[in-house]
């Protein structure tokens, strides 16, 4: 399995806070990599650094032979690495359809075609019925899915997903898991998933990356990571 994304010594500081400490790891093509860690571990910061929303102080992010560091976000995103945000970011006064259409503009010259492609995408995510509703009028969970749909429309090779299951009930979580697995397997999107819902994450991830205080403390298969003493300690304090 080839590495589709390779982080090399990514370091991030905010004033006195050392948010990411020399983070290095590889993401294998086609995998679902779960990202866990207590609050403040640097998970979202890591995603922001990869895509360029908040560029890191130093380090490299290798993707298809290019270093993503230093590139503008919209470049990174159209090159193939997309991201959703922890706090749901949608275009509130736009229709659900247009929310997604914005992202398809890159791949379709005509607005008409972009909207068609968007409608298609909405069907995959179960939002087609709300295509003409304004994004501010749908539920939070739907908006979360909408943001995901928008990111997927970009046809990224790698998708960074930040807490998309917050607020979903059991049934919705299962639906989402199915969709994510489908996106990964059938549409060839490598996923990095930050999620607090452990059960869900362990279910679909091929590997798990564990962060604590900005450092990588584990990167292995779910069963191994969940019993790793460092990981347990990070979440629960000293392991029993």
* Three-state DSSP class for residue 130: helix
Which x/- pattern over 53-82 shows residues binding other proteins (rule: CB under 8 A)?
x------------------xxx--xx---x
CA distance 185 to 122: 19
Dist CA 135 CA 141 (whole Å):
11
- Of residues 73 and 198, the one with the C-beta less far from other proteins: 73
Name every residue whose Cβ is closer than 8 Å to that of residue 201 and which is 6 or more positions away in sequence: 34, 36, 193, 195, 208, 222
Q: Does 154 bind other proteins (CB under 8 A)?
A: yes
List, in order, residues 6 or more apart from 235 with CB less than 8 Å away.
38
- Considering only 26-34, 135-143, 188-196, 211-219, which stretch makes contact with other proteins by CB under 8 A? 135-143
Give dist(CA 33, CA 178) in Å, integer: 16
* Cβ atoms within 10 Å of 109's Cβ, excluding its own: 9
User: What minimum distance in Å lies between the beta carbon of 26 and other proteins?
Assistant: 24
List the one residue from 12, 44, 71, 95 that touches other proteins (CB under 8 A): 95
Is 166 a binding residue for other proteins by CB under 8 A? The answer is no
51 sits near other proteins (criterion: CB under 8 A): yes
Binding site for other proteins (CB under 8 A): 15, 51, 53, 72-74, 77-78, 82-85, 89-95, 97-98, 101-103, 105-106, 110-112, 114-116, 118-119, 126, 129-134, 137-139, 142, 147, 150-151, 154, 169, 171-172, 175
């Amino acid at each position: 399995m080839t590495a589709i994304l390779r982080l090399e010594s990514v370091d991030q500081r905010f004033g006195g806070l050392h948010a990411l400490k020399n983070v290095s790891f590889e993401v294998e093509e086609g995998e679902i990599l779960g990202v866990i860690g207590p609050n403040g571990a640097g998970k979202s910061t890591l995603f922001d650094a990869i895509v360029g929303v908040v560029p890191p102080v130093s380090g490299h992010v290798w993707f298809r032979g290019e270093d993503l560091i230093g590139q503008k976000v919209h470049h990174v995103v159209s090159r193939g690495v997309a991201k959703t945000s922890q706090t749901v970011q949608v275009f509130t006064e736009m229709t659900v359809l247009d929310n997604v259409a914005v992202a398809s503009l890159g791949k379709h010259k005509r607005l008409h075609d972009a909207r068609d492609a968007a409608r298609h995408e909405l069907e995959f995510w179960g939002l087609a019925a709300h295509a003409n509703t304004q994004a501010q009028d749908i539920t939070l969970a739907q908006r979360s899915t909408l943001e995901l749909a928008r990111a997927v429309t970009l046809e990224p090779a790698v998708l960074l997903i930040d807490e998309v299951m917050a607020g979903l009930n059991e049934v919705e979580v299962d639906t989402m898991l199915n969709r994510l697995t489908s996106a990964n397997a059938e549409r060839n999107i490598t996923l990095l998933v930050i999620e607090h819902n452990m059960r869900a994450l362990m279910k679909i991830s091929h590997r798990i990356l564990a962060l604590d205080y900005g450092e990588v403390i584990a990167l292995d298969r779910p069963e191994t990571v969940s019993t790793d003493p460092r990981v347990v300690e990070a979440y629960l304090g000293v392991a029993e």
